[in-house]
Amino acid sequence: MQRFAAAVVLAIALGGFRAGAAAPAADLAAAPDVPELGSIEAIAAATTESRFLSPWVAYVPEHPSVPSPSDYLGHIAGAPGELTGTARIYGYFRALGAASPRVQVETIGRSEEGREILLVVLADEAAQADLGSFREATAQLADPRRCGADCFARLLPRARPIYYLNGGLHSSETGSPEMLMELAYRLAVSERPEIRAIRERLIVLINPVSEPDGRDRTVEWFYRHLKGKADHDHLPETSPPYWGKYVFHDNNRDGHQRELALTRAIQDSFLRWHPQVVHDLHESIPLLLVWTGTGPYNVQMDPILVGEWHQMAFQEVRELSALGMPGVWTWGFGEGWGHMFQDSVAVNHNAIGRGYETFGITSAETMDVRLDLRTEEYVERPVTRREWYRPWPPPRRFRWSLRNNTNYMQTGVLSILRYASLHADDLLRDFYLKGKRAVERGAAEAPYAFAIPEDQRDRGRLAAMINLLRAHGIEVSRARQAFEVAGASGAAPSSGPGEPGAAPSSGPGEPGAAPSSGPGEPGAAPSSGPGEPGAAQPGGPARAFPAGTFVVRLDQPYRGYAIDLLEPQRYPADETPYKPYDDVSWALPVHFGVESLRVDDPGVRAVPLDPVEAEVRYAGRVEGEGPVFLLADTGQEALLAARQRLAGFQVEAAEEPYAHGGAEYPAGSWILPAKRGLGEALRPLAEELGLELRSAAEPPAVRRHALDLPRLAVLATWSDTQAAGWVRLYLDRAGIPYTYIVDDAVKKGGLNDRFDVILYPHTYRTLSGIVQGIDPRQGPLAYTRTPKFPSHGTPSSSPDITGGLGYRGLANLQDFALRGGVLVTLGGASALPLEGGFVRNVRRAETEELFTPGVELRARFARPDHPLAYGYPETISVLREDLPPYETREADLGWVVLRWGLEPQRYYDEKTPQDGPWAEAAGEVIDAEKATLPEPPAAAGEPEDSLVVSGGMKGSEEIEGKPAILDVPIGKGRVVAFNFDPIHRLMTRSDFRLVWNLILNWNDLPPPGGTSPRRDGT
């Protein structure tokens, strides 16, 4: 190590570069910085190999009055064995801001636990003195309607690109908050010419700890359980069981729905600053991967972005290779189709969203690493293999330190900031051009608008959708008068009134409309790409819309995002060699159950409109004085909250449709019998929750049952708390009481004494993973609140989080159902009852092709009279992630409440062996699946390929007709198993009511359906 340190000293004396490193010519100018005393030695000592360090970050510059990280923390950033909590990191940035005129800090939000979310602004003194005018410049460039050619020419030399960095998002990726302290200091004080250029030509924004709640938990976890341990293959669980109060790794999957404070902070600051680049700093892949994705890219992206992605990524590949750092690569990770991540706010708003995956080991200890090439494999190739996109692969074995991570990430960021300072005009011009072309395309080609009628099954979700569009910066207006257009089509709601969902207006792969201007013409808007559903459709049926209809005109800068959010996705699953990274469907009308119509008639541009400038909210009301009140169930999401608020009153659900006072009431509609104080209780509730109630003299004569609120538990395991977190977030916000339980409470037993319904939300764990949990050989691992670890112990606490549910936990859950409890399992959690032996005669179905990567699929109620169907039409659609399907016997088809697709139900042949290897049975299973029940013929006009509503999939024939929801009586109770997650990231709002229906009707679930005699599952 000593020889290495000496070499660095020599290199800096020679102008900042090690002998032998191929240095870009511009950097051969003398480095005017004086290294901080001891910084060269400390950095060299913390770096495990000289090739894991660049000359740019091999020293920290000395400054007489501005505190360096060492001055503040007592050690260099990335020092071995040290991690810094949020308060100290913010303390450092505030000290930096107080001492340097080149640094300011502002608060951009508060986490769910109340921690501040900070934004650091870095630029030279000239910019700091007038940040408002720089913000105004990028705001004007963001909207070419405000800024024509003259304005652009005037602004270009004065505006500065804004480069935004998000650190500390995924809490176990611990390096970036440390690195960003040194980066900020370096940018503030270094006098190297390339850093001065960054300061003088750019504004750099740093969000050092995007997820502050998780940062503190993780730092405390390190000091509690990881410090001093350096055997990489046998570390204890490296992450605490929670990051945010609610959500774990999904804190980077909230881009469209904005349910989390950190998303709102990042997105709102984006719309305040209009940065040209948003760059997320993640850690997972050796040694530094720059996101570009394999494609298919999102069809709404301007082609300019594809060039920017690759040009910038290869800048880092080239420059870090030139600096002698191996293992920097791009392309073969992710796909670029879905943009629901934090950097996506840039992709979706004409800027550049990008990200790093720097190699990280969570721990701040230094350790030997041997890559496991079964997991370190991307696009089916080991990460150590040389490829065109990975010209210098990482080594298989190496020693890694937190400082190595700091070196790679910081050198990469400096490299790209240098690039941005050299290409400032291009960045600003491309940003402007993307907005300009969006406006032009919206005026020149279909679709011209989306029309969203006010008359919806749940106006609460309509308001939520409109408000969400506006929060994304998409302009929404309302028609001042009634209008009629031809060619309104497309995005029907996923749970439309009896409709199986309209077909897309044009098929995937259709080349679309002619280009609006010829190739070669600079600045011309590109034509619709292949696979885009946005090709113009002449004609189409005329449709009339009343005054007040919401209209999203598409001659606006964020046209692409508006279309992406309002049109169903058409993911080309069959043409794509690699699996998508995440969900392939997110269209809001589909997932919110709101009808939205694509308008291809240019006449819509003549409709007089008023911009929506405030939150949309529908106040409900109560008509008449009672004494009985009626509420038509049309699928309102608010019914669970409403029932809770009416806890002191009787609420009954009609078991069949009825008519009263000239109005129709579907099955599930509420009847509120007369009681003193009812009217007074209803009025504010109806107003607030947007519910419409009518009076009746007496209850209608209809079969009905009382809706009793259960004692509800929400279950998670210590090894996967995430999906339960999304459920908790909803229930907390809606004011629904529940008890949150983890493994410990289940293992203790006595569940029937405490709960009526146990809801086990989705999990990524397999059955054995649920049983085994976190490896107890590394235990005990305490997660309790103590004075030393104050962020631990919430929202659940245990002296030892290892060990899983175990067989005792499974037995207690089975016992709970046998003794009369209702066990509800969502998505992957259904492996527990279905594969854990709670239920007989349900088995995992064999599949070869089936692939449903977060795609909205049609489903039909096999039992439309079941209370689960209340508020829904017979055919609905729900989001399905890639989970195994299950199947049952013909005799037990009565357990199936909802099935996939529109085809008749399918079942397996009872003669197929239950216990033998599946391979032996496969042939028979396939034959047996041809067996079907007689079904009414499909309604006229139903599309041939009836399964996909939004997204794309493979192997539809392997799932059609199989159960989507099973309601299986066992003992005195029930298992209700979903083959999808209806509360997926709070995105799938039209699916929520399926779960609410269960909670509200838990003790009125009917016997199995009529296709089989009632029988017990055990």
**Site residues for Zn ion per CB under 5 A:** 170, 173, 282
DSSP result, 485-525: ES-EE----TT-SS---PPPSS-TT---SPPSS-TT-TTPP
| Nearest approach, Cβ of residue 266 and Zn ion (Å) | 14
| Nearest approach, Cβ of residue 357 and Zn ion (Å) | 7
Q: Which is nearer to Zn ion, 63 or 282 (CB)?
A: 282
Pick from 880, 913, 866: which is nearest to 991 by CA? 880
Amino acid at site 477: S
| Nearest approach, Cβ of residue 723 and Zn ion (Å) | 18
CA distance linking residue 654 with residue 673, whole number of Å: 12
Q: Which is nearer to Zn ion, 89 or 289 (CB)?
A: 289
- Regarding beta strands 973-978 and 822-825, do their DSSP bridges make them parallel or antiparallel, or are they unpaired? parallel
**Cα–Cα–Cα angle for 384, 386, 388, nearest 5°?**
135
Q: Which is nearer to Zn ion, 355 or 761 (CB)?
A: 355
| Nearest approach, Cβ of residue 381 and Zn ion (Å) | 21
Q: Which is nearer to Zn ion, 178 or 903 (CB)?
A: 178
C-alpha distances in Å from residue 642, one per residue of 276, 689, 734: 44, 7, 9
Helix axes 303-322, 402-422, angle to 10 degrees: 120
Pick from 274, 433, 416, 296: which is nearest to 345 by CA? 274
| Nearest approach, Cβ of residue 989 and Zn ion (Å) | 26
Q: Which is nearer to Zn ion, 210 or 997 (CB)?
A: 210
| Nearest approach, Cβ of residue 359 and Zn ion (Å) | 12
What is the helix (H) or strand (E) element at residue 780, kind and residue range? none
Q: Which is nearer to Zn ion, 170 or 985 (CB)?
A: 170
Pick from 526, 686, 595, 640: which is nearest to 992 by CA? 640
The percent helix, strand, coil of the chain (3-state, each to 5) is 35, 20, 50
| Nearest approach, Cβ of residue 355 and Zn ion (Å) | 8
Q: What is the dihedral of CA 626, 627, 633, 635, to 10 degrees?
A: 80
User: Tokens 């611990």, residue?
Assistant: 174
- Regarding beta strands 757-760 and 875-880, do their DSSP bridges make them parallel or antiparallel, or are they unpaired? unpaired
Tokens of 160: 């500065």
Tokens of 722: 């995430």
| Nearest approach, Cβ of residue 529 and Zn ion (Å) | 29
Half-sphere exposure of 483 (CA within 13 A, CB side): 24
Q: Where are the alpha helices (DSSP H) in 159-301?
A: 175-189, 193-201, 212-221, 261-273
Tell me the residue length of the chain: 1018
| Nearest approach, Cβ of residue 205 and Zn ion (Å) | 19
Pick from 589, 371, 361, 393: which is nearest to 496 by CA? 589
| Nearest approach, Cβ of residue 657 and Zn ion (Å) | 49
| Nearest approach, Cβ of residue 789 and Zn ion (Å) | 24
Q: Which is nearer to Zn ion, 179 or 831 (CB)?
A: 179
Pick from 909, 770, 906, 889: which is nearest to 839 by CA? 889
Pick from 421, 390, 210: which is nearest to 313 by CA? 390
Q: Which is nearer to Zn ion, 355 or 473 (CB)?
A: 355
Q: Which is nearer to Zn ion, 356 or 895 (CB)?
A: 356
CA distance linking residue 947 with residue 275, whole number of Å: 40
Main-chain phi, psi angles of 35, to 5 degrees: -65, 140
Is residue 557 within 8 A of residue 435, CB to CB? The reply is: yes
CA distance linking residue 728 with residue 488, whole number of Å: 39
Q: Which is nearer to Zn ion, 199 or 282 (CB)?
A: 282
| Nearest approach, Cβ of residue 570 and Zn ion (Å) | 28
| Nearest approach, Cβ of residue 506 and Zn ion (Å) | 36
| Nearest approach, Cβ of residue 345 and Zn ion (Å) | 16
Is residue 75 within 8 A of residue 49, CB to CB? The reply is: no
CA distance linking residue 963 with residue 980, whole number of Å: 10
Is residue 772 within 8 A of residue 728, CB to CB? The reply is: no
Pick from 406, 22, 44, 16: which is nearest to 191 by CA? 16
Q: Which is nearer to Zn ion, 173 or 445 (CB)?
A: 173
Q: Which is nearer to Zn ion, 170 or 437 (CB)?
A: 170
Q: Which is nearer to Zn ion, 344 or 537 (CB)?
A: 344
Q: Which is nearer to Zn ion, 356 or 908 (CB)?
A: 356
Q: Which is nearer to Zn ion, 496 or 580 (CB)?
A: 580
| Nearest approach, Cβ of residue 249 and Zn ion (Å) | 7
Q: Which is nearer to Zn ion, 282 or 598 (CB)?
A: 282
Q: Where are the alpha helices (DSSP H) in 839-878?
A: none
Pick from 594, 501, 498: which is nearest to 864 by CA? 498
Question: E strands, 533-636, where?
Answer: 543-545, 550-553, 597-599, 609-611, 621-623, 628-631
Q: Which is nearer to Zn ion, 166 or 1001 (CB)?
A: 166
Q: Which is nearer to Zn ion, 343 or 887 (CB)?
A: 343
CA distance linking residue 782 with residue 799, whole number of Å: 4
| Nearest approach, Cβ of residue 252 and Zn ion (Å) | 6
CA distance linking residue 333 with residue 310, whole number of Å: 13
| Nearest approach, Cβ of residue 600 and Zn ion (Å) | 40
| Nearest approach, Cβ of residue 476 and Zn ion (Å) | 33
